Structure 1
């Protein structure tokens, strides 16, 4: 059963507004200022109140890559039914741990839900198909995005997908010098403008590799040069979370979804490789345990 996305309309409008033509911007501005009003409107009514036209409303929905006005209304209605005002305040001096738990958890949950709403199933399917067919997968990210890259490589290695990971531009460039049309390169950058990640994708494309970007939602320099675009929530970090806690969770979430989708696509072989991996690790653990036990008995 396909999961219906029933929220995220306001995020789409906020992040895409600057890319829209003037008439569609006027509609977006009206909706953002009066989200509760449009839920019961028709296309022509929204065109009238926004001083545009019904045709412009239809074009806006297409620009947002939605099926139509009904989907936009459904998503906005879902937004209104959810607690959207999640605090992004930093922790305070001597703050009770219970308050910190609530702040960090609420923001993390909000970011993960918003990320799920912004993943384009068609782009995800393209990414899955590319990875299933790939001879090698190369992950690249710097800073906190490098954590998601390392985690993804470890996962795909477990199912017998030849993978590399790099968080250094020079090492990454060395790897890119040897990629070809059978390889997939995944560049991870929350901002979508990290110089090193953009350079890696450019080098990959020059050698014919398929490129996948994972950035915050919206048009960014990195997403624009990649063959396949995956996105996370654009939710901003508060000052003490500028180390990318929420964005890191969102990146890990998307990489988990990508991994699980690939695993599902080649289910039988995935189970075989996971079992083999588990047995190898268990054997190492048992040997280590026996050696420690023997040393302890001396």
Structure 2
């Protein structure tokens, strides 16, 4: 879906007079609009609530709540590779504040949209799995490797694969007693989708950490959604990676609590193994 504000501006000439008033207010004051109830926006723009709903649907959204969430998310940007979004005159404290503020805001938004019932189902599946695999490509591969380091300490059969050929071979061996956790910011990496679909065809439960509405989300039995709008052509996908790492921590700690003394004992043994290295 195109970036919201440029898309909205480009459609102004095609909108009715009433819908254009709504669009113009959103373009002029996006932060205020993202916090408004539909009745408040309709009153400010001097239109009816159905006019607001029709505008949202014209833009491809389900309604005002869906549009409002995406609008708020679009106001949070990542860290540009070339720093074009930063003011050349920013001092170091300002630079640091912008980066940390963006990250904190995005993490809170993911926290608030993460469905507790889906997290609980994921932990249930993981606690019963014969084998757990984490698949991710590129930046998501970093998250997959981090997940392996966290989960294997519970004395579980865990592996992370970040090569697409290995993922396809491994997916062919997964079955109903296993769990595949597929990780992707966009949810559109073709090779990851192919491996995930292969595992799914073998009856393997799929847990996806990805954007809602993505092709990967459509393959998931359990979706742990992470809706962060980052233009990965211009921006380093740092914030989505932080959110995915946080979700992995939620799963790891939830599983540790579920396993109880067994997990504590395994963790103690791994720490004992490091004593001579410090």
Who is 1:220 aligned against? 214
Q: TM-score, normalised to structure 1's length?
A: 0.67
Question: How far off its partner does 1:189 sit?
Answer: 0.6
Who is 1:285 aligned against? 277
Q: Is it true that 1:112 corresponds to 2:107 in the alignment?
A: yes
Who is 2:227 aligned against? 233
CA gap of 1:40–1:179, structure 2 versus 1, over 3 A, is closer
Coordinate RMSD, CA, aligned:
3.6
Question: How far off its partner does 1:146 sit?
Answer: 0.5
CA gap of 1:103–1:199, structure 2 versus 1, over 3 A, is same
CA gap of 1:36–1:228, structure 2 versus 1, over 3 A, is closer
CA gap of 1:95–1:172, structure 2 versus 1, over 3 A, is same
Partner SS for 2:109: helix
Query: How far does the alpha carbon of each residue in 1:221-247 deviate from its partner, in whole angstroms, 9 at most, with x for none?
Result: 1100111111113232576633x1111
Who is 1:143 aligned against? 138
Who is 1:10 aligned against? none
Residues 86 and 110, structure 1, Cα contact 8 Å, conserved in 2: no
Q: TM-score, normalised to structure 2's length?
A: 0.72
Q: Is it true that 1:184 corresponds to 2:179 in the alignment?
A: yes
Query: How far does the alpha carbon of each residue in 1:34-61 deviate from its partner, in whole angstroms, 9 at most, with x for none?
Result: 858965969xx9xxx6454xxxxxx979
- Distance in 1 between the 2:36 and 2:89 partners? 44
- Distance in 1 between the 2:76 and 2:194 partners? 37
Residues 123 and 251, structure 2, Cα contact 8 Å, conserved in 1: yes
Who is 1:272 aligned against? 265
Gapped regions of structure 2 (runs ≥ 5): 5-18, 51-61
- Distance in 1 between the 2:116 and 2:33 partners? 26
Alignment of 1:155-170 (within 5 A): 155-170=150-165
Counterpart among 193, 198, 223 of residue 203 in structure 1: 198
Who is 2:13 aligned against? none
Q: How many aligned positions are there?
A: 236
Q: Is it true that 1:131 corresponds to 2:131 in the alignment?
A: no
- Distance in 1 between the 2:49 and 2:39 partners? 14
- Distance in 2 between the 1:272 and 1:256 partners? 19
Question: How far off its partner does 1:97 sit?
Answer: 2.0
Gapped regions of structure 1 (runs ≥ 5): 1-13, 15-25, 53-58, 65-71, 287-298
- Distance in 2 between the 1:51 and 1:231 partners? 29
